[in-house]
């Protein structure tokens, strides 16, 4: 697939600084399925930028811009991208969280009124900046057309492309280059920094010996993606990679060698074992059921979900004892356990999972703060429940609650 690079900035064309990103990118891409096919240089002028983007889109699958995403008045990339795609600039909560984190990393406090970092074009996603403050931008226009905007500072651009953009491209673009194969390792529950600096020091260097390595944080997990040259030794390399990672503390957190989403893998494994699934959801409000039913063919294993938001639904439909709610509260191991057992009984399934928690922003206490969730599991093998704690806003917490419960569902299916 072809990458068109747009280098933005008056300082490049007036000779004040040299562009180092194009040369670096050419070399970096050598062992990936992507190729740099065109580089354009433009000044910080709207008409020039719009023409250059249009020209690159006509001949490239990936349009990558550098420069112009900072906080000053001549940083026009966000506005130009919005105008080119017919989008409005809107405030984005995820962007705000990322920028706050970036400022904190440099020992600073961000004043939202001091710049427009919080605004991004509609339908764009914001990415981390491993070496700077300004977030990156990604817009997936179609299955095989994506726009990406990164800082122009070489150390920021290089880190963002290798650690953020490349993993995105490898997992979201249909790469059809027969000379390469993507080997993806999906992990759960361990932050990226802890993997490489605490649990598995030296793992990056060992894996990179096989091919270009990228690390992509996902919802409550990390993907390790290696681009392998396809030849008679490719399968042998995969087995060697597996032996390496499975000989580290990371082994227990690996839930897949592949690119299936968690709901997709759950449906696949449940089909293989001829198991049926039901859910009882309080704090997640049907999110987990929605994610499972997004998977084609899920009707063969997923029976249904009770959204037991009110305690009356927990007692009247799922059979949770009123005394359990009085003694332990709605958010407790005991209530989650009875919810899961009730769902399995009511819907006559092999396995049931329950969610009851506090997504906030209110409703928490010192004993049960916002971010507390109880997850119950019921199956023929037995019944269990646990209480977990997470951080984030309401929507992020719901997603994390769902991911934690579905991950435990996957493990239960695999062990059934």
Q: What is the pLDDT of residues 2-17, one digit of tens each?
A: 999 999 988 888 888 8
In terms of phi and psi (left: phi > 0; alpha: psi -120 to 50; beta: otherwise), the region of 286 is left
Return the exposure string of 163-182: e unless at least 16 CB atoms fall within 10 Å of the residue's CB, then b: bbbbbbbbbebebeeeebbb
Q: Where are the domains of the chain?
A: 2-172, 180-257, 262-414
What DSSP character marks residue 298? G
What is the CATH number that goes with domain 2-172?
A: 3.40.980.10
CB atoms within 10 A of CB 411: 14
Average pLDDT over residues 55-79: 92
Give whole-number Cα distances, 75 to 46, 149, 239, in Å: 11, 12, 47
Percent of the chain surpassing pLDDT 90: 75
What are the pLDDT digits (tens) for 224-237? Answer: 999 898 899 999 99
Residue 15, token pair as written in the block? 């000779």
Q: For residue 230, give the nearest of 213, 243, 211 by alpha carbon.
A: 211
Do 281 and 308 form a contact (C-beta atoms < 8 A)?
yes
Report the C-alpha gap between 403 and 401 in whole angstroms: 6
Average pLDDT over residues 359-381: 95
In terms of phi and psi (left: phi > 0; alpha: psi -120 to 50; beta: otherwise), the region of 267 is alpha
End-to-end CA distance of the chain: 42
Confidence label for 217 from pLDDT (cuts 50, 70 and 90): confident
> CATH for 262-414, among 3.40.1160.10, 2.40.50.140, 3.90.950.20, 3.40.50.10800?
3.90.950.20
Predicted structure pTM score? 0.71
pLDDT at 199: 94
- Give the CA-trace dihedral at 406, 365, 306, 287, to 10 degrees: -50
Confidence label for 141 from pLDDT (cuts 50, 70 and 90): very high
pLDDT at 151: 94
Give 53's contacts (C-beta < 8 A, 6+ positions apart).
Answer: 6, 63, 65, 80, 81, 84, 147
Q: Sign of the CA dihedral 305, 309, 315, 316? A: negative
CB atoms within 10 A of CB 330: 22
Contacts 24+ apart (CB under 8 A), 195-203: 195/222, 195/250, 199/248, 199/249, 199/250, 200/248, 200/249, 200/250, 203/244, 203/245, 203/248, 203/250
> Is residue 103's pLDDT more than 80?
yes
Mean pLDDT of the chain: 93
180-257 is a CATH 3.30.70 domain: yes
pLDDT at 272: 97
């Amino acid at each position: 697939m072809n990458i068109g690079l747009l280098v933005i900035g008056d300082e490049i064309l007036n000779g004040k600084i040299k562009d180092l990103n194009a040369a670096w990118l050419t070399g970096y891409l050598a062992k990936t399925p992507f190729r740099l096919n065109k580089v354009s240089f433009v000044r910080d002028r709207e008409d020039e930028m719009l023409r250059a983007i249009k020209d690159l889109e006509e001949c490239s699958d990936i349009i990558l811009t550098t420069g112009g995403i900072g906080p000053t008045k001549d940083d026009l990339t966000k506005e130009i991208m919005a105008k080119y795609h017919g989008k409005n600039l809107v405030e984005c909560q995820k962007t705000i969280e990322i920028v706050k984190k970036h400022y904190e990393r440099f020992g600073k406090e961000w004043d939202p009124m001091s710049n427009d970092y919080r605004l991004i074009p509609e339908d764009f996603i914001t990415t981390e900046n491993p070496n700077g403050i300004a977030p990156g931008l990604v817009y997936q226009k179609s299955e095989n057309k994506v726009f990406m905007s990164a800082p122009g500072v070489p150390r920021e651009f290089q880190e963002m492309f290798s650690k953020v953009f490349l993993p995105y491209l490898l997992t979201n673009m249909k790469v059809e280059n027969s000379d390469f194969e993507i080997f993806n390792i999906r992990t759960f529950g361990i932050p990226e920094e802890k993997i490489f600096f605490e649990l598995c020091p030296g793992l990056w260097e060992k894996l990179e010996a096989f091919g270009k390595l990228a690390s992509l944080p996902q919802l409550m997990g990390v993907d390790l993606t290696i681009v392998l040259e396809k030849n008679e030794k490719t399968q042998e390399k995969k087995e060697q990679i597996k032996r390496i990672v499975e000989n580290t503390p990371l082994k227990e957190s690996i839930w897949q060698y592949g690119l299936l989403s968690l709901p997709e893998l759950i449906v696949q494994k449940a089909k293989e074992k001829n198991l049926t699934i039901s859910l009882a959801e309080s704090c997640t409000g049907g999110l987990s059921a929605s994610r499972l039913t997004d998977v084609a063919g899920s009707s063969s294993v997923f029976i249904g979900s009770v959204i037991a938001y009110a305690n009356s639904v927990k007692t009247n439909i799922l059979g949770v004892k009123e005394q359990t709610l009085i003694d332990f509260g709605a958010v407790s191991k005991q209530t989650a356990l009875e919810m899961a057992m009730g769902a399995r009984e009511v819907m006559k399934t092999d396995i049931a999972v329950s969610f009851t928690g506090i997504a906030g922003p209110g409703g928490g206490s010192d004993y049960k703060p916002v971010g507390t969730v109880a997850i119950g599991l019921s199956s023929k093998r037995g019944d269990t429940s646990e209480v977990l704690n997470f951080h984030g806003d309401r929507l992020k917490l719901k997603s994390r609650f769902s991911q934690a419960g579905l991950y435990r569902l996957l493990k239960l299916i695999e062990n059934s």
